[in-house]
Structure 1
Amino acid sequence: MRVLVWNEFRHEKTKPEVAKVYPDGIHGAIAGFLQSEQVEVMTATLDEEEHGLTEEVLERTDVLLWWGHVAHDEVQDEIIARVHKRVLEGMGLIVLHSGHFSKIFKRLMGTTCDLKWRVADERERLWVVDPSHPIVDGIGEYIELEKEEMYGEHFDIPAPDQLIFVSWFEGGEIFRSGCTYQRGKGRIFYFRPGHETYPTYHNPKIQRVIKNAVDWVKPEFGIATNYGKAEPLESISSKELK
């Protein structure tokens, strides 16, 4: 399986407190725990040519993970169209944290994807509300995070195909933090936690969820690109209209 981790890679360059938590970038941290004998992991960032999302790279990508925050508008529309097409063909997509406001997620959802937020070092408890789902295999009843950014309802997204996590925050809000969708042949998972100043992606349970999600969103039967005129599998006899 071939996985591509995409990250803006801006905070790590401009904020020492972020670089301290993620010295190799958020993409580097995620790629590090995903790499295995069964998974080939690549990374790409905003400032690379074509944002690192060339036709050739996407053609060899089974699952794309997306983390963005301050530079959503800098992502070129033609690149988003390329990613969108690939998702519809079957590429899995995992959108992390503030990637909810990315062009690709908003295009796939067809809504504003707006929400309430607050950065106040709050405790977050992610409750598993669908314990039978493969994404939460090995997680238990909940995940407890000592500090995270608060996201609150209303979250302007379509009703999820499956709701996996609901978060409770110390300030009292709740949030739909783990949602799945199907668009075309592609599976999508949105996973909320992951503010850049907190070591969320070093948490073993968060890592387990992302690993499970990669396995769940991957294309089961390959990525379909052979649309168009179809030749018949068998000969078609002529029929007289009566």
Structure 2
Amino acid sequence: MSRALFDLSGTLALVTGSSQGIGLALARGLAEAGAKVVLNGRDAAKLEAARAHVPGAVTAAFDVTDHAAVEAGIAAIEAAHGPLHILVANAGINLRAPSTEMPPETWRRVMEVNLDGVWYCCQAAGKRMVHRGRGKIITVCSVQSELGRPTIAPYAASKGALRMLTRTLCAEWARHGVNVNGLAPGYYDTELTSALVQDPAFTEWLCKRVPAGRWGRVEELIGAAVFLAAPASDFVHGQLIFVDGGMTAVV
């Protein structure tokens, strides 16, 4: 019985932004739990390379910031592979600048990917799930859904907005059998954070700030993601699960 609660056999999962980093790790974890996984990103060649690391995966290249492309992409996925059971809305970027100097195009670009793109994917997948009466949606939030830091105003604003989007979609869709929850990573060693990982001063600060005393490893997000995608979380709605080494639990 306990294994069945975490068995994703027979499900179809779309993971956006899954050609590398956290998205690729989550895709691999869902596949290992039994799901057929659709990898998504803008670069078809990178997706094809990533596919070798995810058992049984297929690819769907489209830009999450393009509403029409998202709708067409998810429709094509379902036409080719059947109903979508799981969406992991992971695609995101972080562009840094002091707030007094933040160009409007930088603000807009981060919002387009981190908020608009998640909304477009949630809407396109969610309306189909609501119609069928079942589905799991996981938004990938952040410790910055709760905490602020200098130079990342659009990133923190977008991730805070995702927290409320997650709760609002829960309020609308839970009664229709669709679970909408958020996964909130802390600081992880990925391609996108390599400059910070290699900065001794930042790493020293991080290890002192995080109770676990280290950077996270992307595979440490898989357990929470599988839980949120699996029958084990059928009565879990509108929650944010922080996988952050304790960072948001302490001052």
Per the normalisation by structure 1, the TM-score is: 0.44
Q: Greater strand share, 1 or 2?
A: 1
Per the normalisation by structure 2, the TM-score is: 0.42
